[in-house]
Amino acid sequence: MTENLNQKIENFFAKYPELKIKKGQTIIQPEEPLIYIYHLHSGYVKSFSLNDEGLELTINIFKPNSFFPITETLTGRTNTYFFEAMTDVVLRKAPTAKVHEFIKSDQEVLFDLTKRISSGLEGFMIRTQYLIRSNAEQKISSSLLLMARRFGQNTPDRKVKILLPQTHEDIANLAGVSRETASLELKKLENEGIIFSSKKIFIINDFQKLREISTIYLEDQALSYGF
């Protein structure tokens, strides 16, 4: 997103109330009427579902300058996800109808949103393949790669630091495995020197090796991990 486009979106939402939400607080619940769309100024928000056993599966993680929920309001379907603050967050909420008017009135904003949705859809489809076809080791490795791509920062010693603090349970929810399984797989990766973690911050020591572990093959072709 360009600085000009970002400022344009900021200016639109600046007309509406600012909200400060504490970590762990639910912002939107399933089946709640979507009368507002939220713009995230700072912090991180996740959307997730719960199965009949209460197992959580993370659907998406929103970072600053994101606005949500979009696809649900554009399609008019009932929301089936929880949206929860992963950290303390600052956001603004605007009436859904006003946001739709804003999007339709500005071609640059509309095109940017189209790119975001297209990228998100492609990523979701690839991630679904990983959830269905890969083993626990590959699920955890690919989830770490996802976090590195979206929230990673290169370090001077050529490692990748994931800036978003993550517990073992957070990674388990992203990978679609139990917390116990996630802890075992993360420990193996640490013992092999591929990753390092301290105080919920993960550092990838060997990005290439992690990528090799995560790769699954369909008809002898490596499935892209570029989600």
Least confident piece of the model among 2-6, 7-11, 26-30:
2-6
pTM, to two decimals = 0.82
pLDDT of residue 158: 93
8 Å CB contact between 160 and 207? yes
Structure tokens at 188: 């193996």
What are the structural domains, with CATH classification, of the chain?
3-105 (2.60.120.10), 134-222 (1.10.10.10)
Paired residues of 57 in beta bridges: 49
- Residue 5, pLDDT score: 84
pLDDT of 214 higher than 90 = no
Q: What are phi and psi of 36, to 5 degrees?
A: -130, 150
**What does the pLDDT look like over 136-193, one tens digit per residue?**
999 999 899 888 988 999 999 999 999 999 999 999 999 989 999 999 999 999 999 9
